[in-house]
Structures are given as structure tokens and as C-alpha cells.
Amino acid sequence: MDYAFRLDFKVRDYECDLQGIVNNSVYQNYLEHTRHEYLLSHNLDFAQLAAKGINLVVTRVELDYRFPLRSGDHFWVGLNVSRAGKIRGEFVQDIYRSDGKLILNGKVQWAAINDRGRPFFPPELAALLPQLEADTAN
């Protein structure tokens, strides 16, 4: 699969549980960090978006764990973003060990909430989706 964004990591000792593998909750940290770095790569700072009244919230997470990571493993997270309805977006994120072994498939749905608590699809994020630019221009 081709990805719009990719970020490299290395497993740190303290991310592992007593079994010597990465704790299941840590994978969500990897995915979230990748999403934030993706936004930054498009000059969208998460804190600045919040200051402008664009509050991005996760609404659903699906994770399929395929194979564990261990301390010292090098890996990368691939990311694609799409629209998942009128007011929701979706990040499809996969984790691969550096040797190409698939570790995890994930889908993270999100929504944006304005300062009045109303959901909307921010133009700043719509601009990341070329097909949406054409749709909103009509």
C-alpha cells in the first residue's frame, strides 16, 4: 500500500510489558504521534487548531494486532487520510517492522467540534484531501 505519510520509530524498553512485548496501549501512542506529525508536515499544529476553535476528537478506533514488537525493534507507521462521512474523517494507519513484517492495521475515525460543541469538517483538513477540494468548489 502507498501511504501519504510515513514515520520511523524504535521501541523503547519502558514501552514493553512483563512478557517483553510492547504493551497494547502503546500502539495507540505511536499512531497518535504519527497523526500529529502528519498534521505538522502540512503546517497544521494541533494546539493552534484548538486555539482557533477546531477541536479534533477521536470517535472510534479499530486495531488489528498481527504480530508483537519487542524492545529495540525498528518500525514505521504509514498513514492515509480520507473522509468518512459528512462530518467525520478517518486515518488508516498500519505499522510495519523495518524488515517488512506487518505488525498492526488500524483505523481511527475523528470529528472536529467547534467552540459551541457543534461538529463540522474543517476546511484546513478538507484541504488535505484533493478530491474534497474539487467537491467543495462546486
Residue ranges of the domains in the chain? 5-137
Q: Tell me if the pTM is above 0.75.
A: yes
pLDDT at position 130 is: 60
* Per-residue pLDDT reduced to its tens digit, 28-52: 999 999 999 999 999 999 899 999 9
User: At residue 25, does pLDDT exceed 80?
Assistant: yes
Checking if the pLDDT of 18 tops 70, the result is yes
With cut-offs at 50, 70 and 90, classify the pLDDT of residue 59. very high
- How many CB atoms are located within 10 Å of the residue 81 CB? 21
Q: What average pLDDT is seen over the chain?
A: 92
Average pLDDT over residues 51-64: 95
Q: What dotted CATH number matches 5-137? A: 3.10.129.10
Per-residue 3-state assignment (H helix, E strand, C coil) for 77-101: EEEEEEECCCCEEEEEEEEEECCCC
Which pLDDT does position 135 carry in this prediction?
40
Strands (DSSP E) found in 1-138: 5-10, 55-65, 74-83, 88-97, 102-113, 119-120
95 pLDDT higher than 60: yes
pLDDT level of residue 26 (50, 70, 90 thresholds)? very high
Q: Any idea which residues carry the catalytic annotation?
A: 17
